[in-house]
Structure 1
Amino acid sequence: MRLSALTPRLPLKPFALAAFLSAVSVSPHAAASAPDMTEQVQALYGDSIAFDIYRNEARIGSYNVIFRDAAEGLKVTINFELEIGLLFVKLYELQYQSEALWEDGQLVSLSARTDRNGDISEVEASANEDTLTIDGPNGRQTAAIGIYPTNHWNSGVIGSTQLMNTITGQVNDVRLVDLGTERVATNVGMVEATRYKYEGAIQNEIWYDADGRWVAMQFPGEDGSLIELRCRQCVASASLEATR
């Protein structure tokens, strides 16, 4: 049998992939100064977040976020990688890295690099007064300051109608629909979380708990498979102690 016959269709749609990258955030309530934002993030997540990525119940990768308090504001570094193989043959590989700077609760710069089976794309975004300039593989775009990137840790995205796609550099129209609350497994046990469904250019489902903490996400692969992000470490140890 030819290898091409064994190769699945791209398991991550471009828009789903971008949304997949977009998830970890502070509570959607009032924006805070940079130090306060750092404190809020650390109260929710600690210094980092870790999700395991599953495809049809098989673990295929990991998604990791690191938070750092810097003089300029809050720095957020994201790394994730996944690999799909068959009979010891690598069929699909994806690696993504990004670094963003947040000041006064707003994104002011971002650099992202995606390597999909050797096909590399890069996105750069920087703030200038009230505009965010975005350069990506599809050219230059602009967006208003306050737009959220597709990196999901910030639950402030819940009321948004546009997102900055960190894979394509495009501004995507979206809407998040509340599907009700469910119990979700985390590193501190089961928690109540609200399930939201993206509508528009991005078609993911994502769960945030009552504090605005990102605890799970899933979306369909182009080949019909189910891609899930399951929390390995998404609740700060201080929060764990508080629940005991």
Structure 2
Amino acid sequence: MTLHRRSFLAAGLALTATPALALPRSLAFSVERDGVKIGEHRMSFSGDDASPTVTTEVEMLVKIGAVPIYRYRHQATERWRGGRFASLSTITDANGRRRTVEAVREADAVNIAYGKKRITAAPTTAPLTHWNPQALSGPLFNPQEGKLLSVTGRRRQDSLITPDGRRAAVLWSLREEAEIDDWYDADGAWLALRGKLKDGSVMIYRRI
């Protein structure tokens, strides 16, 4: 984003329903930081394409030599109904600091709770969980911290080759409070991610 640690993940959709994606049953990524594998990001999809339940598990470990300096684990359950974001529940442990986020879309707002804080966001707001390219043009919130994100998503026609050399059909770039590129295949399935971290290092997701 400049990708903060809190922004490792994420996606959402507008209030007006759009055509359902052809979702896979599962996605798995190897996560690299400056060319070194630091973990894996796995997602599973149940239900139909318009109303999926998405379960996410992420584990990362950053080392200097043999010494662990950063441990990260993230679990999320995300629900969509009729092509619209419905709810999200997450638990994140970053170096022993545990955070929870609960978000629910009502008729006229998305209500987000993290810790003792509460946010009422626009009804088109969704979590930045990356798997859904149809969400990236709308307002987004951080699924690990519950905060609204100041980002602009733009669909691009160039650079349609992923970091691991795969041909993509769609590339979305997120900028402002982020520097992230996401690639998708012709069915809308997430293929890869590249993001710049706050310390200047580069994170890459490669499908496995």
Residue in 1 aligned with 2:153?
176
Q: Give yes or no for contact 2:29–2:41 (8 Å, CA) kept in 1.
A: yes
Q: Specify whether residues 156 and 19 from structure 1 end up closer, same or farther in structure 2 by C-alpha distance, changes over 3 A only.
A: farther
Q: Give yes or no for contact 1:217–1:229 (8 Å, CA) kept in 2.
A: yes
* Distance in structure 1 (CA, Å) of the matches to 2:162 and 2:65: 33
Q: Which has the higher helix share?
A: 1
1:27-68 deviations in whole A, cap 9, x for unaligned? xx9625xxxx4xx443xxx21000100111111100011101
The count of aligned residue pairs is 204
Is residue 192 of structure 2 the alignment partner of residue 208 of structure 1?
no
* Distance in structure 2 (CA, Å) of the matches to 1:21 and 1:57: 19
Residue in 2 aligned with 1:239?
none
Q: Specify whether residues 107 and 30 from structure 1 end up closer, same or farther in structure 2 by C-alpha distance, changes over 3 A only.
A: closer
Matches within 5 A, 1:91-170: 91-137=69-115, 139-160=117-138, 162-170=139-147
Q: Give yes or no for contact 2:127–2:141 (8 Å, CA) kept in 1.
A: yes
* Distance in structure 2 (CA, Å) of the matches to 1:192 and 1:124: 33
Residue in 2 aligned with 1:65?
43
Is residue 174 of structure 2 the alignment partner of residue 198 of structure 1?
yes
Is residue 195 of structure 2 the alignment partner of residue 230 of structure 1?
no
* Distance in structure 2 (CA, Å) of the matches to 1:18 and 1:51: 18
Q: Give yes or no for contact 1:138–1:169 (8 Å, CA) kept in 2.
A: no
Select the residue among 7, 10, 33 that pairs with 1:22. Answer: 10
Report the CA distance between 1:185 and its aligned residue. Answer: 6.5
Give 4+ residue runs of structure 1 displaced > 6 Å after superposition.
none
Q: Give yes or no for contact 1:84–1:90 (8 Å, CA) kept in 2.
A: yes
Residue identity matched to 1:99: T
Q: Give yes or no for contact 1:50–1:62 (8 Å, CA) kept in 2.
A: yes
Aligned-residue sequence identity (percent) comes to 28
1:186-235 deviations in whole A, cap 9, x for unaligned? 7xx83234433212223212222343222111112233221110111xxx
List runs of 5+ in structure 1 lacking aligned partners: 1-11, 233-244
* Distance in structure 2 (CA, Å) of the matches to 1:203 and 1:183: 17
What's the TM-score once normalised by structure 2's chain length? 0.85
Residue in 2 aligned with 1:7?
none
* Distance in structure 1 (CA, Å) of the matches to 2:4 and 2:128: 10
Residue in 2 aligned with 1:218?
194
Backbone CA RMSD of aligned residues: 2.7
Q: Secondary structure at the match of 1:219?
A: strand
